[in-house]
Structure 1
Amino acid sequence: MVKHSAVFIFIFSVFAPAVFAQQKIRLTDDWQFLKQDLGGIWEAVRPVKKGAPEEVPLWTNVTLPHCVNAKDAVDPDVNYYQGPAWYRTLLNVKNPYAKGRTLLHFEGVGQKTDVYIYTTKVGSHVGGYDEWTVDITDAIAAFKKSDTLQKQFNGKIPLSIRTDNSRDLEMIPSNLSDFNVYSGIYRYLNLVYVPSVSLDKIFVQADVDSLGKEGKLSVRTRFYNPLNAATATVSIKLLDPFGKTIQQTQKVLSDLKSDVEIVNFNVKAPQLWSTEKPTLYTVETTLTTKDGVFTQAEKIGFRHFRFATKGPFFLNGKRLLIRGTQRHEDAAGVAAALTEEMIRQEFILMKEMGVNFIRLGHYQNSRIALNLCDSLGILVWEEIPWCRGGLGGPVYKEQARRMLTNMIEQHYNHPAAIIWGLGNENDWPGDQPDFDKEAIRSFMKELNDLSHGLDPSRKTAIRRCDFCKDIVDVYSPSIWAGWYRGIYTEYKQVTEEEFNKVNHFLHMEWGGDSHAGRHSENPDKALQQIKAQGTADERAGDASLYGGAARVSKDGDWSESYICNLFDWHLKEQETMPWLTGAAQWIFRDFSTPIRPDNPVPYMNQKGLVERDLAKKESYYVFQSYWATKPMAHIYGHSWPVRWGAEGEEKMVKVYSNCDEAELFVNGKSYGVKKRKSPDFPAAGLRWNVVFNKGENSVSVVARKGKETVRDEIKFHYQTEKWSKPAKLLMEKMADENGVATIGVKMLDDKNVQCLDAANWVRFGLTGDGELIDDLGTSSGSRLVQLYNGRAVIRVKTKNGKSVASAKVEGLPTAFVNL
């Protein structure tokens, strides 16, 4: 049976006695999984003795959340699986209500889903990102009528779920999208007990004037009433941020079939929700009927926002420069199946970096993500997955309407949400034989009207579809200065030109890729081949590593050194643009994609500030030096073990810090104190030209902000020997802790000098008792990866046995190491 891994008992009503409060139980354990289709539902539930030869196909044990593509999305040798898969378990159902309803609440399943109780199909859903619910009450009752079935399953209820992410041109998102269209029960699945009448949705509108003096609160309810009860009593409480009831009311209702506005409260001088102080109130709604009590609590916030026409963004009457990033639901080892703790860790890292805004691209995210944005103070642009490919037919359009409606209604109460996104790169053809701009415009208008009808309080937006930019409230063109087009010093000019073309501008997606661990002594060299173009949009084929005009994305070194310069320039420029609403860098975490097999980590979009396992790249600290308030200092190069150059040559040391001043020490000698000056590129003036010792060096910094002091230190080797062409590989075990061995490979020339610019592909292998820790989508977690400065690393689970690891580079002898 499924274990009750987390049980949430909701609040009892104070207006009427209740025997039970409703329960919501996460179904996480005791699941079986099959990565293929079945001949029919009978194969999932037929009685077969364990171990019998006819027990085929073979199921594996998993826990939820679970993604079908947890490993194969970044397997360098196969395409990721797109097709049916099955999950099954046994439910122990104990509904405490005499006439209660038993529900399955899905927080997100990809992409088409069928649900069965025993052999009865109880529900289906299309769309991998919105929430949905199936009432299994009647199917359970029918199943329990059979004593034979009760005995066969020991009183438990067999639940089977089929998921399917097969390619389908009449579905969104398009498979042309630059991200995997995953399958599986990759968000939480809940067993929910409710009385015969319950609250389906609560819509709370919290308004405040621009000065924050007058607040208004309205509450509208929608009911789940399958037995058609005639009357109910609804009670509303408004609790302040400390849990004190400040207003309450009660109402008897005789119409439970439609949305009902319950109350309008006036709130004097409410405490405002902001990105610096995300103050949350609670609206507690209790529904009472003769059959039971249902109570639901919603966190809400009072805030006022405004996009000035041809101007900046204002929150609660003050200009706020939007400092944003973006995310996909994607992580090493689990793909889309992130646990609540994993999501929390990710968002805390964002907030510590100084983020005040996030675009949740390109689909409705987990409710956990929205809750974190509310509590941490991160403004949200959330969008539906109408992404690339053109426009499909009636089924396609209906899915888009449904997903937009669900996104808005399910996330209506979150104060963090300010923008509903209607699409992304809708000027990208390919899924349909005809690409009709007017048809796309017509449907975009329909979605825009639908969004405003469902929620007049928030803005609509799209990114990169110029022929629709006049339809939505906020528009983001494509600006990739210094990556797909032009050079990064063109950023301000290009941005201002685009800003002047629309009433409300917000720049989504900028930055570029970096291969974690790869560094350069001359990172801007590729810019010598590229001319300033006065434009920075991404065009068809720009993401390819082959052909076309010179561009950094194709001709650059993909080093962390270059991307830090690009970020540094953009961030210091944004501080000098008083008209700018803001921008959101793409993307916080590296993520998998089926359309980039040739990237240094195959099938990975490497534009993240952290790797797919949340390991910070150097660029994370560039953003922190501009955005974070807590004092920090970071010497560039923590993942750069060997620097190179001539003996006696001056080399630049950069310190990224938000402190007022910093003093650098190299091998114990002070190189002086420098003041931080944001316009002084690079590193806001915190850079020193120094001469390293041949061999080992130690560099430290002491930075001060007011009375606070922070420090950082790195050690590295300085190589003065020049290398010739690669000749051989050196492989060695670098560490062995807790059953995990770290092995590394280095590229050497014929004189054993490390080739520090080598970027060859290396393939790791393993024979024996151990297991490679690969298919993670990280620079140290892929069995096929490009070298970073002539080296690469991977880890092995030794399993207390013996193994031989290998490293193969085309044209060179294979290297081995015994473990």
Structure 2
Amino acid sequence: MRGKEIISNWKFNLGDIKEAHLLSKDDTQWRTINLPHDWSVELPFNKEEGEACTGFLLGGIGWYRKHFKTAEDMIDKRVIVNFDGIYCRSTIYCNGEMITFHPNGYTPVLADITKYLNPLNEENVIAVRVDHSRHADSRWYTGSGIYRKVSMHILPKVHIPVWGVSVITPKITDLLAEVEGNVELVNEFSENQDIEVLMRIIDEEGKKVVEEKQRVKLSEHSSSNIKFNVSINNPVRWEVLNSHLYKAEVCILKDNNIIQTEIVKFGVREFKFDADKGFFINSKRTLIKGVCLHHDGGAVGAAVPLDVWRRRLDALILCGCNAIRTAHNQVSEDFLDLCDELGILVQEEFFDEWDNPKDKRQNGEEKTVDYLSRCYTEFFREYAQDDLQNTIKRDINHPSIIQWSIGNEIEWTYTKYNNATGYFGIDADGSYFWKLPPNDIDVIKENISKIPRDYYDVGTTAKKLANWTKEMDTTRPIIANCILPSVSYETGYTDALDIVGYSYRRVIYDYGHTHYPEKPIMGTENVPQWHEWKAVLEKEHIAGTFLWTGCDHIGEAQVQGPWPRKGSNLGLIDLAGFDKPSYHMFKGLWNEEPHIKIFTQTLDKSLYNLDKDGILVEKEKDAWQKRLWFWHDVNPHWNYMSEEGIVVEVYSNCEEVSLYVNDELVSTRHLNEFEDNIYKWFVPYTEGTVKAIGRKGNKKVENNIPTTGPIDKIDLTTDKNIIKVSSDSVAHIVVQLVDKQGHPVKIVNEELFFNIKGNAKILGVDNGHPDNVQNFQNNSIVTSQGRALMILQAIDEGQIEVVAICKTLGLKSAPCKIQAIR
């Protein structure tokens, strides 16, 4: 995050307190914490008072206070405090004076504290009241508090404001890239100022590529913008999953002295969406292999260290993913920096609600909205423009961002239009997933033409949001996730869009292209099943897809099951970051390198029956074409009753796969035999090892699952042996129960306790299961599939040792050693 971080030694109190905004308030008994901080994730899951929509974790009201002295470099300067994210309804004070109220929980807010500072060396306090008492105000887990970083900007009287530098590359060839730098300047003096402004481009190796200097005369109490136009010879392009970042260093000089320097990173890349041919980046047609992500990090809640995101994004990249949709809100500046670094494409989404609220508990079946579930909608009309445009100001330089999304499934909240399609009548039975609109296009147009428009209507609001977006940035297309595009094409909604995103509407990809050929189309929310990707491969005009979801998330549990279901388990990766069966399906679909993975299930619990010839057939013919979010129940183990009938499924992109049980060949099958893209065999269970060997071209790949014995020991592994004393640095320690041969035991679970020696703390523990309601902040965990995760953060430098103990079995792991450094 840009600016000087001020994240250490804040004071925190959960609960409302009178006069907590005053400098004189005694806060010595408050907790001392470091930011980012999410207080909800520290609380126990609460079945009685909590809500399934937000993961049964409560909110409340909290106060934060940060003491600091007025330093010499603040005198006669402008001092801005940048909060990257506070959830939610925050009121920010300095020395008892209210600076601003900010209701949005996801957008950055700048607090100008200049005129409220006390004289040199005197004490000041920034106080922030956070009101998340409406803890059912979202369809997913939000967190509570100052859950993102905070930084301070100390600016001279002639300065570049925060987010005042933007860089674009309007023309690119292999030999040359034109770079246009836009710099905003402010003069707070009561007289004219003569300055010089220098822009220098630096490559990843730190080498100066080009620089240009301009002389500028600023009138008194004025602001203006200047442009730099320079060129980079033989530019290195920012590519998908192969990034290269340049830095633009902009300096203000007064009397040959540098009085301010601002640095932004950018990438040299060009892209376009073609209505007939899909997505192109740097002149190469590229399929968007995307996933949707909510902003929580599982056991750490909403205050996610960057290393947690790095582990998750690395796993998704290994799966073949190349794009993220930030469902359904703005993400942190640091998250986007990471996407820039990794070469991941991003669709940044602004809003889940506009003029009308959604029913957070029913999730699409709008019934009631009460006090606890009302959220941003009541502030939308007043604050939406600032929130949207401040997001773009902050994020405009990120080469990863290729789309701005102005809304998610907004149509549900403008209900008067929905019946126009005929989907919700008796004949269609609400089957908008699989059927074309029951009404033809002329009937839909006629039905909608008869509906009176409101002052705040879906089309007019969409146009307003699109105009605000284009005021800030014309280099990226505007998109939205449309749940009923056949309606939205006729209400004026899609008129405001450059690309129409389809939410679970692959069945009308051709309908949209035929009737509205000028608008590019892509899937912006799709189920993680083969039939969704098959549609993308078969239709050249579809740019790609965003699967729902990349990672499981807390909340949105009500659509899945009753307590103790606390979260959504539709991701390719679970809450602890462990891969799931659907992950391996898409790893095969999204990669050229051969991949193979075995899962098993008893015949009665599987999707299949045996026909008269002993061949596996679907219990419901062609059901694979209509599978939704939930992956069918399969097991990662080979432990059954002797001679029990077992279905072996293999997920692979190999042209052929041979299955062996105890090194005896069962048979060799070919992928083109299976319409559902799943290799499958029926075998009687025999203790030993099931093995699959796949061949793709001249390459061979193998996977096997052995029968496991009783638990013999506890294995601890860490993704890092060295971590930093930093809010972003953590070690992920995975604990796995294993048998005497060292094979993971997946069918037995035990409670484990962690002992830590050294200056470190447990940020969270989890086993990845969506029904796990053990406290995240704990030193014990009951495993799922014999494994669990502990996230460790250093408090100070030195050696850290972690040991896991199973008291019921009398087992103790070998120590896992980690070094913490500054």
> Structure 2 CA distance, aligned partners of 1:61 and 1:778?
32
Percent of paired sites with the same residue: 22
Aligned-pair CA distance for 1:282: 2.3
CA distance in structure 2 between the aligned counterparts of 1:664 and 1:800, rounded to whole angstroms: 37
The answer to whether 1:476 aligns with 2:470 is no
User: Which residue is 1:162 aligned to?
Assistant: 129
CA separation of 1:284/1:800 partners in 2, compared to 1, >3 Å: closer, same or farther? closer
- Quick one: distance in 2 between partners of 1:642 and 1:136? 63
2:463 alignment partner, SS class: helix
Offset of 1:500 from its aligned partner?
A: 3.6
Structure 2: which 5+ residue stretches go unaligned?
A: 51-56, 358-375, 417-451, 601-633, 717-732, 738-746, 754-761, 777-782, 791-801, 810-822
Distance 1:261 1:640, change over 3 A: same
Q: Aligned-pair distance for 1:103?
A: 3.3
- Specify which of 454, 479, 484 is matched with residue 472 of structure 2: 454
What is the Cα deviation at residue 660 of structure 1? Answer: 5.5
Cα distance in 2 between the residues matched to 1:414 and 1:273:
11
Check if 1:270 corresponds to 2:247: no
**For residue 316 of structure 1, what is the aligned residue in structure 2?**
282
* CA shift digits 1:270-307 (9 cap, x unpaired): 33322143232222211223575322222222222222
Equivalent pair of 1:591/1:604 in contact (CA under 8 Å) = yes
CA contact (8 A) 1:127 1:403 kept: yes
Please name the residue that 2:16 is paired with: 37
Aligned match of 2:182: 220
Hey, what does 1:605 align to over in structure 2? Answer: 568
Describe the superposition over 1:56-79 as per-residue Cα deviations: whole angstroms up to 9, x where unpaired. xxx334321111321459544432
**Shift of residue 648, structure 1, vs aligned partner:** 6.4
Are 1:91 and 2:68 matched, yes or no? yes
Q: Does structure 2 retain, via aligned residues, the 8 Å contact 1:44–1:88?
A: no
Aligned with 1:495 (options 480, 493, 509): 509
1:355 lines up with 2:380 in the alignment = no
Deviation string 1:602-637 (CA, Å, 9 cap, x unpaired) is 231221111122122121111111113555432235
Match runs of 1:402-413 below 5 Å: 402-413=386-397
Give the corresponding residue for 1:622: 585
TM-score normalized by the length of structure 2: 0.69
- Asked if structure 2 preserves the Cα contact closer than 8 Å seen for 1:68 and 1:183, the reply is yes
2:588/2:596 contact within 8 Å kept:
yes
1:456-490 deviation line (CA, Å, top 9, x unaligned): 1111111125232233111123316xxxxxxxxxx
Q: State which of 649, 654, 663 in structure 1 corresponds to 2:649.
A: 654
Task: Provide the residue aligned with 2:445 in structure 1.
Answer: none
Question: What amino acid is the match of 2:64?
Answer: Y
Written as runs of structure 1 = structure 2, the 5 A alignment for 1:543-582 is: 567-582=529-544
Q: 1:313-362 CA deviation, whole Å, 9 max, x = no partner?
A: 22222221111101111122321110122222222222221112211111
Alignment match of 1:186 (pick from 147, 150, 157): 147
Q: C-alpha displacement at 1:569, in angstroms? A: 3.3
Tell me, yes or no, if the aligned pair for 2:566 and 2:770 is still in contact at 8 Å. no
2:129 pairs with 1:141 = no
How many Å separate the matches in 2 of 1:425 and 1:161?
33
Cα 1:663–1:497, aligned 2, differ >3 Å: closer, same or farther?
Answer: same
Distance 2:77 2:691 in 1: 65
Choose from 82, 87, 92 the match for 1:115: 92
Is 1:681 the counterpart of 2:675 in the alignment? yes
Count of paired positions = 651
Tell me which of 249, 258, 265 is aligned to 1:284: 249
Once the two structures are superposed, the pairs formed by residues 131-530 of structure 1 within 5 Å of their partners are 131-142=108-119, 144=121, 157-167=124-134, 177-200=138-161, 201-208=164-171, 215-223=177-185, 225-227=187-189, 230-255=193-218, 257-267=222-232, 270-289=235-254, 292-387=258-353, 390=356, 395-429=379-413, 436=454, 439-464=457-482, 466=488, 467=491, 468-479=493-504, 493-502=507-516, 503-511=519-527
Q: What secondary structure is seen at the aligned counterpart in 1 of 2:117?
A: helix
> Which amino acid is 2:146 matched to?
I
Secondary structure of the residue aligned to 2:338 is: helix
In structure 2, relative to structure 1, the CA distance for the partners of 1:91 and 1:697 (3 Å cut) is: farther
* CA 355–29 in structure 1, closer or farther in 2 if over 3 Å, else same: same
Task: Tell me how far apart the structure 1 counterparts of residues 534 and 571 of structure 2 sit (CA, whole Å).
Answer: 19
1:443 and 1:355 map into 2 onto residues whose CA distance is: 33
The question of whether the paired residues in 2 share the 8 Å contact of 1:772 and 1:796 is answered with: no
Measure, in 2, the Cα distance between the counterparts of 1:404 and 1:62: 30
Q: What is the alpha-carbon distance in structure 2 between the residues aligned to residue 25 and residue 109 of structure 1? A: 18
The C-alpha deviation readout for 1:18-60, integer Å capped at 9, x for no partner, is xxxxx94333332332221111226774347x6xxxx6xxx33
Amino acid at match of 2:88: Q
Match of 1:171 in 2: none
Aligned partner of 2:622 in structure 1 is none
Does structure 1 retain, via aligned residues, the 8 Å contact 2:182–2:225?
yes
Question: How far, CA to CA, are the matches of 1:85 and 1:777 in structure 2?
Answer: 29
Q: Residues 105 and 456 from structure 1, CA distance in 2 versus in 1: closer, same or farther, beyond 3 angstroms?
A: same
Coordinate RMSD, CA, aligned = 4.4
- Residue type of the alignment partner of 2:140: F
Range that drifts further, 407-416 or 267-276 = 267-276
Residue type of the alignment partner of 1:81: L
- Distance, in Å, in 1 between the alignment partners of 2:34 and 2:73 is 26
Letter in 2 for 1:619: S
- What is the CA-CA distance between 1:568 and the residue it aligns to? 2.9
Letter aligned with residue 618 of structure 1: P
Q: CA deviation at 1:366?
A: 0.8
Is contact 2:89–2:103 with CA below 8 Å preserved after alignment? Answer: yes
**Contact 2:93–2:126 (CA<8 Å) still a contact in 1?**
yes
Going from structure 1 to structure 2, the CA distance change for 1:648 and 1:116 (only over 3 Å counts) comes to closer
Give the letter for the 1:160 counterpart.
A
What is the distance in 1 between the residues matched to 2:188 and 2:694? 65
Cα 1:403–1:500 change in 2 (3 A) is farther
CA offset digits 1:183-215 (Å, max 9, x no partner): 211111123444443322101111235x65653
The DSSP-based 3-state class of the residue aligned with 2:692 is: strand
Does the residue aligned with 1:636 lie in a helix, a strand or coil? strand
Instruction: Point out where structure 1 has 5 or more consecutive residues left out of the alignment.
Output: 1-7, 9-22, 145-149, 151-155, 169-174, 481-490, 512-565, 719-731, 745-755, 757-761, 806-819
**SS at 2:462's partner residue?**
helix
**Which amino acid letter does the alignment assign opposite residue 274 of structure 1?**
E
Conservation of the 8 A alpha-carbon contact between 2:566 and 2:773: no
Amino acid at match of 2:589: Y
User: Cα–Cα, structure 1 residues 317 and 142, in superposed 2: closer, same or farther, change >3 Å?
Assistant: same
The reply on whether 1:664 has 2:659 as its aligned counterpart is: yes
3-state DSSP of counterpart to 1:130 = coil
Secondary structure of 1:249 counterpart: strand
Note if 1:596 corresponds to 2:558. Answer: yes
- In 1, distance between residues paired with 2:139 and 2:273? 30
TM-score for the superposition, normalised by structure 1: 0.70
Matched, 1:28 2:17: no
Residues 474-520 of structure 1: CA deviation (Å, up to 9, x unaligned): 1123316xxxxxxxxxx5x4433344444211111122xxxxxxxxx
Which residue matches 1:104? 81
What is the match of residue 597 of structure 2? 634
SS state at 2:237 partner: coil
Counterpart of 1:128? 105
Mark the CA change 1:137 to 1:431 in structure 2 (over 3 Å): closer, same or farther. Answer: farther
Q: 1:364 Cα deviation (Å)? A: 1.1
| AA partner of residue 161 (structure 1) | V
Instruction: Mark the CA change 1:346 to 1:796 in structure 2 (over 3 Å): closer, same or farther.
Output: closer
Q: Describe the SS at the equivalent of 1:446.
A: helix
Deviation at 1:416, TM superposition (A): 1.6
